[in-house]
């Protein structure tokens, strides 16, 4: 199996960052942080560019662009605009796929339109930006490589009731990202980091989350999805979760510390503990079916 992220990554002093979903939350904090760094360039994107007014105008290192990751035309236009802005020296060093969307509720109640909208944003949007970014990075004359952060979630490793399509999208992103990372030629020095935070204090619930119409068969309070809803709502009232600014600082640290980039990065104690527990449970499950799995062969 082709190894990934072989060499330590060194962030160029004049690195160009492309960040999706910069209107609020994690994306906004990353864009704000990079804009504050001398000589670092930021291409900040949002579906509505008016949501990027928090970034100053008139700075040649800051480019604000409209970008809807669900639209092929919009993605192509954003990459074209960035290349035109920075001219023949255009390069991408760090890409943060942060644009997000969640569809929550009873799986049986989801409509075809709701399902497709969720997958378009979470999975296909990530694919579009990733593949175009790789093309820019590997074609750079200076062979300076690059780093792609995929903002996944604990939901990309562990599945919980009432979020089937969000999990499907994040699981797909993680599988896609690992596979593509293993396709990279070592000389390209293109690195991937799949970031898996647990709760983050953003307005994601009201801004980028859709709820499926409740299904009558799942309304009882003892249903797993209803129990989880109560737990999550209680956590939100208590202000549980990490600050998006702290996550932004972690990403910059990973990019600039001149060490090997981790392929997977669970963030937060909850994410680390639940992820570790899942794999420990899987190992036990594998042992329980070892004789069956062997199909008469030696394991």
Q: Is 152 a catalytic residue?
A: yes
Among the options 102, 133, 152, 275, which is catalytic? 152
Kindly indicate the confidence band of residue 66, based on its pLDDT and cuts at 50, 70 and 90.
Answer: very high
Closest CA to 120 of 59, 68, 179, 67: 68
Kindly indicate the confidence band of residue 208, based on its pLDDT and cuts at 50, 70 and 90.
Answer: low
Kindly indicate the confidence band of residue 238, based on its pLDDT and cuts at 50, 70 and 90.
Answer: low
* Dihedral angle computed from the Cα positions of residues 50, 55, 56 and 60, in that order, rounded to the nearest 10 degrees: -100
Is the per-residue pLDDT at 233 higher than 80? no
Mean pLDDT of all residues in 122-143: 92
Q: What SS3 class is residue 163?
A: coil
Report whether 262 contacts 147 (CB < 8 A).
no
Higher pLDDT, residue 60 or 223: 60
Q: Is 245 a catalytic residue?
A: no
| pLDDT value for 26 | 94
Mean pLDDT of all residues in 175-195: 96
Determine the Cα–Cα distance for residues 106 and 4; give it in Å rounded to an integer. Answer: 37
Q: What per-residue string of b and e applies to 62-81 under the rule 16 or more CB within 10 Å gives b? A: bbbbbbbbbbeebbeebbeb
pLDDT tens readout for residues 2-42:
899 999 999 999 999 999 999 999 999 999 999 999 999 99
| pLDDT value for 203 | 62
Is the per-residue pLDDT at 287 higher than 70? yes
Is the per-residue pLDDT at 114 higher than 60? yes
Q: Is 218 a catalytic residue?
A: no
Closest CA to 275 of 199, 201, 164, 198: 198
Is the per-residue pLDDT at 227 higher than 80? no
At residue 83, φ and ψ (nearest 5 deg) are: -65, -40
Kindly indicate the confidence band of residue 213, based on its pLDDT and cuts at 50, 70 and 90.
Answer: confident
Closest CA to 252 of 2, 42, 23, 3: 42
Kindly indicate the confidence band of residue 135, based on its pLDDT and cuts at 50, 70 and 90.
Answer: very high
| pLDDT value for 225 | 73
Determine the Cα–Cα distance for residues 59 and 205; give it in Å rounded to an integer. Answer: 32
At residue 78, φ and ψ (nearest 5 deg) are: -65, -45
Among the options 101, 170, 177, 271, which is catalytic? 170
Residues with Cβ < 8 Å from 93, sequence gap 6 or more? 11, 12, 15, 16, 17, 137, 144, 145, 146, 147
Q: Which residues partner with 94 through β-bridges?
A: 17, 147
Higher pLDDT, residue 86 or 178: 178
Fold of 16-267: Rossmann fold (3.40.50)
Is the per-residue pLDDT at 104 higher than 90? no
Based on its alpha-carbon atoms, the radius of gyration of the chain, rounded to whole angstroms, reads: 20
Kindly indicate the confidence band of residue 259, based on its pLDDT and cuts at 50, 70 and 90.
Answer: very high
Is the per-residue pLDDT at 239 higher than 60? no
Q: What is the mean pLDDT of the chain?
A: 91
Determine the Cα–Cα distance for residues 218 and 69; give it in Å rounded to an integer. Answer: 33
Is the per-residue pLDDT at 132 higher than 60? yes
Q: Which 8-state DSSP code applies to residue 16?
A: E
CA–CA distances in Å: residue 95 to residues 16, 33, 209, 226: 8, 14, 23, 37
Among the options 166, 177, 271, 275, which is catalytic? 166
Distance of CA 4 to the CA centre of its chain: 18
Cα torsion 64, 65, 66, 68: sign: negative
């Amino acid at each position: 199996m082709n190894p990934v992220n072989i060499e330590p990554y060194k962030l160029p002093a004049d690195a160009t960052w492309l960040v999706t979903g910069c209107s609020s939350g994690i994306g906004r904090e990353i864009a704000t942080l990079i804009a504050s760094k001398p000589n670092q360039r930021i291409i900040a994107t949002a579906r509505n560019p008016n949501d990027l007014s928090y970034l100053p105008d008139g700075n040649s290192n800051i480019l604000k662009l409209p970008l809807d990751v669900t639209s092929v035309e919009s993605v192509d236009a954003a990459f074209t605009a960035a290349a035109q802005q920075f001219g023949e020296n255009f390069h991408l060093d760090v890409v943060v796929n942060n644009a997000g969307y969640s569809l929550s509720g009873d799986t049986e109640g989801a409509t075809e339109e709701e399902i497709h909208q969720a997958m378009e944003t979470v999975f296909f949007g990530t694919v579009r930006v990733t593949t175009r970014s790789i093309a820019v990075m590997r074609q750079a004359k200076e062979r300076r490589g690059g780093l792609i952060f995929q903002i996944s979630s604990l939901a990309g490793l562990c599945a919980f009731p009432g979020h089937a399509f969000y999990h499907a999208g994040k699981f797909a992103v993680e599988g896609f990202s690992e596979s593509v990372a293993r396709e990279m030629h070592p000389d390209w020095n293109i690195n991937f980091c799949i970031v898996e935070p647990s709760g983050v204090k953003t307005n994601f619930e009201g801004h980028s989350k859709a709820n499926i119409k409740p299904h009558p068969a799942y309304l009882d309070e003892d249903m797993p999805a209803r129990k989880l809803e109560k737990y999550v709502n209680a956590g939100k009232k208590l202000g549980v979760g990490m600050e998006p600014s702290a996550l932004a600082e972690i990403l910059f640290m990973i990019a600039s510390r001149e060490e090997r980039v981790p392929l997977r990065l669970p963030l937060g104690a909850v994410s680390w503990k639940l992820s570790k527990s899942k794999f420990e449970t899987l190992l036990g499950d594998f042992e329980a079916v070892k004789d069956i799995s062997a199909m008469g062969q030696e394991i």
